[in-house]
Chains A and B, each alone.
Chain A
Amino acid sequence: MTTTEQNIDNKLIPILEQVSDPEIPVLSIMDMGVVRSAVIVDGIVKVEITPTYSGCPAMDVIGDDIKTALKNAGYKSVVDLILHPAWTTDWITPRGRKALEDYGIAAPLDAEADKEVLLNGKRIVKCTNCGSQNTRLVSQFGSTACKAQFQCEDCQEPFDYFKCLK
């Protein structure tokens, strides 16, 4: 129950990598770290995914998209939602972090830095447009449950910051 390791059949990885987060389309669910296991048992693919946030409306869509992708690849599948171990932003892969930044969403800092940013207004989140760290927290809650709103004081670009979740 306490393992944080993923158990994913190598054959299935390319298929699952085609499925993306509907709210952040540049990010595959594999890079997001929400697929915790995917194994073939008696010809049926059993997939376990874990939600980023409890209320994330993307989870139902992700579940359907996984089934569709697997079906197109010739597999029947069952998708289960598991809550434990709880998702953390540490599970976003380096490639996923880069995809977020390129898309205009600042990737999560570590927990301490995140606290300084969200609670004490420290200016260290890098603007995704110009790279300046002279950025200001507009609101701890952003366009989706996982993000906070920021604005760059140099180039004035408003952007999202993916909150650290530990």
Chain B
Amino acid sequence: MNNNLYNYILGIADNSLILGQRLGELTGHGPSLETDIACTNISLDLFGQVRSYFQYAAKLANDGRTEDDIAMLRKENEYRNVLLVEQPNTNFAYTIGRQFLFDVYHLAFLTELEKSKDLTLSAIAKKCIKEVRYHERFSSDWVKRLGDGTEESNKKMQESIDDLWTYTDELFHQTEADKAMVLEGIGLDITQLKQAYYAKVTDFLEEATLKVPDSKYFQKGGKKGIHAEHMGYILAELQFMQRAYPNMEW
């Protein structure tokens, strides 16, 4: 098996898995019915995408592991998601800020992944792009609505962007698997996405009358399996059924 490819796929999919789980927490708890449904729809899209990635990873592993095993039965330090996606739903502005900062990256990433010479990854990317365009529309719309809304909504949106900004740089950190996949023409060089990302985010934020944070201090670790304190709680919920009732199936 190509270990680098396997790890590369997990690196991509884990972001969607953990963000999907975070959004899923809002089921029945969204600030309004429409936003509740929107967040959980996005969650569903992300889980669907994760299934495609993990099915492919399971096929590559070819050792009896299923997509569910990969999703549910790893230890905390084996998840490769960025710290950004594990940040909590502190308030709706945080949910939107986290989503927005990820969606802009996600769309740019998939647009490049579509060109991968690995036909499965390319096909998954093509499928996902169509969905992620809607995600980006939704989150950027809300950034504008809250940023350019009332004094209070502007304050909350600004706080969320200021707090989450520190997790954006990690999106562009290359792992060993990333580097190997670039060499094989399967993966993309994420460092090349950084400039356009910050330019696009800046445009959106300015339109939303928000200040672009100027902090140069960035957090990292998720891609290496070093997660924030949130991660254990997320996994406790995500993995509960499989841990309590091993091998259970729906």
Among A5-13, A98-106, A124-132, A136-144, which stretch is in contact with chain B? Answer: A136-144
**How far, in whole Å, are A86 and B133 apart by their CA atoms in the complex?**
15
- Confirm or deny: B173 has a beta carbon within 8 angstroms of a beta carbon on chain A: no
**Shortest CB distance A60–B (Å):** 9
B22-54 CB contact bits vs A (8 Å, 1 = yes)? 000000000000110110011011111101100
| Contact (Cβ within 8 A) A149 B128 | no
- Confirm or deny: A72 has a beta carbon within 8 angstroms of a beta carbon on chain B: no
- A-facing residues in B94-149 (Cβ within 8 Å): 119-120, 122-124, 126-128, 130-131, 134, 137-138, 141
Please report whether the interface of chain B is mostly helix, strand, loop or mixed according to DSSP.
Answer: helix
Collect the chain A residues with CB atoms within 8 Å of residue B44's CB: 53, 55, 57, 145
**How far, in whole Å, are A163 and B138 apart by their CA atoms in the complex?**
14
| Contact (Cβ within 8 A) B37 A55 | no
| Contact (Cβ within 8 A) A119 B137 | yes
- Confirm or deny: A71 has a beta carbon within 8 angstroms of a beta carbon on chain B: no
| Contact (Cβ within 8 A) A84 B130 | no
| Contact (Cβ within 8 A) A84 B48 | no
| Contact (Cβ within 8 A) B52 A54 | yes
Knowing A138-B34, A139-B37, A141-B138 are in contact, say whether A84-B126 is a contact too (CB < 8 A): yes
Collect the chain A residues with CB atoms within 8 Å of residue B126's CB: 83-86
Collect the chain A residues with CB atoms within 8 Å of residue B141's CB: 119, 140
Q: How many positions in chain B have a CB within 8 Å of any CB in the partner chain?
A: 28
- Confirm or deny: A79 has a beta carbon within 8 angstroms of a beta carbon on chain B: no
| Contact (Cβ within 8 A) B137 A140 | yes
**Shortest CB distance A2–B (Å):** 11
**How far, in whole Å, are A163 and B135 apart by their CA atoms in the complex?**
13
Closest to A119 in B: B137
Collect the chain B residues with CB atoms within 8 Å of residue A56's CB: 48
**Shortest CB distance A62–B (Å):** 14
Collect the chain A residues with CB atoms within 8 Å of residue B130's CB: 86, 165-166
B45-85 CB contact bits vs A (8 Å, 1 = yes)? 11111011000000000000000000000000000000000
| Contact (Cβ within 8 A) B48 A55 | yes
| Contact (Cβ within 8 A) A53 B123 | no
For this complex, 5 residue pairs linking A to B, each with C-beta atoms less than 8 Å apart, are A53-B131, A55-B46, A83-B127, A141-B42, A166-B130
Q: Give chain B's interface residues, CB within 8 Å of chain A.
A: 34-35, 37-38, 41-42, 44-49, 51-52, 119-120, 122-124, 126-128, 130-131, 134, 137-138, 141
